Structure 1
């Protein structure tokens, strides 16, 4: 897994000109093949990260609790999902796959692997 911390600093410096958390989410989600927004102490987040690593995928992980403005991102994710819980949230190829239930449904129905291959996150 690749834990992203550098981009959080750039978020802080560009916040005055780019203050919309939704724009920030879109930009971060499109920077890597697989992006997971997580909270480091969340067991569901841990399970999702293990799922992807077990498949041979190296996701970029943004731990919202390790950023001073992570609550803003979390609120925007809740709004995006229409849910009371925002994490984990997974993007593949810049496209929203969803929270835990959406990822697991995609995995079970067989649509996750082709999506990962299309995004260049999985080669086999």
Structure 2
């Protein structure tokens, strides 16, 4: 699983003006997303006891954890994710997410880049 966390990034200056923590460096995922398009951007919350059912789709997706702790599965890999973590989910890989506690939720910001030449899975 490609999991990156802001607490593992080194703070750097961007254009000598602002502090940044590069979760994905410029051009790093160009090959994986070139020719695609921004399919969607959303924020979602999974309540304790609920889950994002295992699913897959023809887009590169990213989950950025804003609040709570979750059990994230991507392919055969499973990890606990916490605020500040960015999960890269490759196209057509089965993934799911559930809060680690039935009493607390996990909230994420997410966006997807559709694969070139493939229809959106939301059509």
Give TM-score, length-normalised by structure 1: 0.28
| Rg (Cα) greater in structure | 2
Q: Which of the pair is proportionally richer in helix?
A: 1
Q: Which of the pair is proportionally richer in strand?
A: 2
Give TM-score, length-normalised by structure 2: 0.28
